[in-house]
Structure 1
Amino acid sequence: MRAVFLDKKTFHKTIALDEISAQFDSFTCFDVTAEHEIITRCQDADVVLTNKVVFDKKTLEQLPKLKLICITATGVNNVDIAAANALGITVTNAKAYAKGSVAQYVFAQLLEYFNQTSHHNANTAKGLWQQSDTFCYLGNTIYELADKTIGIIGYGDLGQSVAQIATAFNMKVMVAERPSAVSIRSQRYAFDEVIKQADIITLHCPQTPETEQLFNRQIFSNMQTHAVLVNTARGALINNDDLIDALNNNDIGYAILDVLDQEPPRSDHPLLTAELTNLKITAHIAWASMEAQQRLIAIVASNISSFFSGGKLNQVT
């Protein structure tokens, strides 16, 4: 039995893969795989592991030996699920491995913003406190998270973890119902109501036809002018040009993005060249604590074991 991992470089080099490699006679890892290399590298494989390498219908049709695709992530947008199903190829993904990591990222960024931590550290490093004529040097304003309203868009494992921490900070949690919903489930709020009331909006929903470009000019115009938008989900949930306009015009207060619509982004990506002081971008790392990465690998190993023993663990086909 042969397996290949096409983009191992998406994981830290010290992450152990023993639970996976032990299940195969041959297990080959490639740091990255270009589109023209997919067929050659996968043609003899029974199992393929991929984080973001794309498997469309044309590619899948050229891999008759392939039995299982293990997506080393939660999102499955990079695989044509319908084509895989038609060809008898099983697809699995991994869930709930990063809920602690993502929630920690959200609050690390929010605390940095509301506490101005780096600013105040820098003030002392620059000697400003030492020169003060009072016992403290105030610098930028600090605000508390307590009593602020956080709107959560997408209430799976990640959204629930964020809500748990928000509650510990004595924040008001508003879980948004789907935008198209005709009725509101218990303990949820209408999407438009969340947009209008939230001081902070954090995105944790999947990318679907319904959610693509969900955050656009109209939504930004309905947000509070001081509101903070956090996106750790998918870049395509946001209309880039509309976000730039909203930030430039102070329609919203601040945006923290860990994802973009193109990854890796080109150097002239509009959000990277906007030169906005109220925009912070990180390189899709919210999921990537060392613990979360190792949990993900353990889930993938279990998916493989389940498949070959006749189970259906985390199958998406």
Structure 2
Amino acid sequence: MSHKIVFLDRDSLIANVRRPVFGHEWTEYAASTEAEAVERLRGATIAITNKVPLRADALARLPELKLIAVAATGTDIIDLDAAKQHGIVVSNIRNYAYAALPEHTFALILALRRNLLAYRADIEAGLWQKSPRFCLFHHPIRDLHGSRLGLLGYGALGKGVAQLAQAFGMEIVVHTRTPAHDPLVRNVSFDELLETSDVLSLHAPLNDKTRNIIGAAELKRMKPSAILINTARGGLVDEAALADALIANTIAGAGFDVLTQEPPPEDHVLLNLRLPNFLLTPHSAWASTQAMQTLADQLIDNVEAFGRGQPNNVVG
């Protein structure tokens, strides 16, 4: 069987994407909107999408579609129930950013714990140049060694973060749906995770149970000296509540790589938060050169496995 393959947002992946070994017709678009997706997928048997949503109404209009190969780990852009109803296999990418995302997570942690943004602003304002002493210490600097890292979620990426944390001499506690069996970490309740972590890093999927799992009440229960890191999904945190908490110094800082709406509108509450204790990066934690190539290779591995009648990395 020759497949018609359509890649809806090819420019979302800066890597060499090899072509599948089986017979096929390949079409790719640099980017697609949700409204354009149905027409572009007309007659396709395999859809490749990174961030273009495919909801129930779209899937109902694509009777020839057999596989949706998601070029990412998260599949919240796909209506999985509708896909199952129409006999469409959904595959995703797993464990590809095992180095990239943990490294980015620690870049955020280190910048905030050592107040690098605040000290850079001091230098730009000329404060060091005017100092009567050889150094400045206007902002608290906290070591990672001996502090507690709390992880919400303990999949492959959470484990990667834990391994780096061990090298820094941190104590590691975890709260996850299924208790972790790992001598590196200690399982704790959600309450203990919130109330005792010096650094709380989120590595949970986004679903109905985790949406806004960190809101105003949870932020108030965190230590005033704690920082919150989110390199997972924007919807895990109530962003307006976070802005309020940072302005009020309810927590010491936050580092985010994800937002609920991406790209964000100009008036997004966190996009316009100009504070030295908040660091925002543009969903780039996953995007090292090495990680993107690993993703691209696994993406076509998934497509080829489906072509052999042995689909892998199946979701749902």
TM-score normalised over the length of structure 2: 0.90
CA offset digits 1:17-48 (Å, max 9, x no partner): 12x35545321211110122112211121211
**1:117 Cα deviation from its structure 2 partner:** 4.5
CA distance in 2 between partners of 1:8 and 1:97 (Å): 18
Residue 135 of structure 2 is matched in structure 1 by 137
Q: Does the CA-based 8 Å contact 1:21-1:27 persist in structure 2?
A: no
- Mean Cα displacement is larger for which, 35-44 or 199-208? 35-44
Over the aligned positions, Cα root-mean-square deviation in angstroms equals 2.3
Letter in 2 for 1:60: L
Aligned ranges for residues 99-178 of structure 1 at < 5 Å?
99-117=98-116, 136-139=134-137, 140-178=139-177
1:33 aligns with 2:32: yes
Select 2:11's aligned residue among 6, 9, 12: 9
TM-aligned CA distance change 1:224 to 1:122, over 3 Å: closer
Letter in 2 for 1:50: T
CA offset digits 1:247-276 (Å, max 9, x no partner): 122111101111111111111112223433
TM-aligned CA distance change 1:302 to 1:146, over 3 Å: same
- Mean Cα displacement is larger for which, 260-269 or 35-44? 35-44
**1:245 Cα deviation from its structure 2 partner:** 1.7
CA distance in 2 between partners of 1:312 and 1:246 (Å): 45
CA distance in 2 between partners of 1:131 and 1:240 (Å): 38
CA offset digits 1:50-104 (Å, max 9, x no partner): 0111111111111112111100111111111111111111110011001211100
Letter in 2 for 1:196: E
Percent identical among aligned pairs is: 36
CA offset digits 1:93-152 (Å, max 9, x no partner): 011001211100011112222334466678789988788776x43455533210010100
Name stretches of at least 5 consecutive residues in structure 1 with no aligned partner: none
Task: Say which SS state the counterpart of residue 102 (structure 1) adopts.
Answer: helix
- Mean Cα displacement is larger for which, 217-226 or 106-115? 106-115
1:69 aligns with 2:68: yes
TM-aligned CA distance change 1:120 to 1:214, over 3 Å: closer
**1:163 Cα deviation from its structure 2 partner:** 0.3
CA distance in 1 between partners of 2:264 and 2:122 (Å): 33
Residue 255 of structure 2 is matched in structure 1 by 256
CA distance in 2 between partners of 1:185 and 1:293 (Å): 28
Residue 234 of structure 2 is matched in structure 1 by 235
1:84 aligns with 2:86: no
1:273 aligns with 2:272: yes
CA offset digits 1:198-224 (Å, max 9, x no partner): 000000000111111110111111100
Q: Does the CA-based 8 Å contact 1:48-1:69 persist in structure 2?
A: yes
Task: Say which SS state the counterpart of residue 297 (structure 1) adopts.
Answer: helix
Q: Does the CA-based 8 Å contact 2:115-2:277 persist in structure 1?
A: no
Name stretches of at least 5 consecutive residues in structure 2 with no aligned partner: none
Letter in 1 for 2:156: D
Residue 205 of structure 1 is matched in structure 2 by 204
- Mean Cα displacement is larger for which, 252-261 or 121-130? 121-130
Q: Does the CA-based 8 Å contact 2:108-2:279 persist in structure 1?
A: no
Task: Say which SS state the counterpart of residue 187 (structure 2) adopts.
Answer: coil
- Mean Cα displacement is larger for which, 222-231 or 297-306? 297-306
Aligned length: 309
Q: Does the CA-based 8 Å contact 2:10-2:30 persist in structure 1?
A: yes
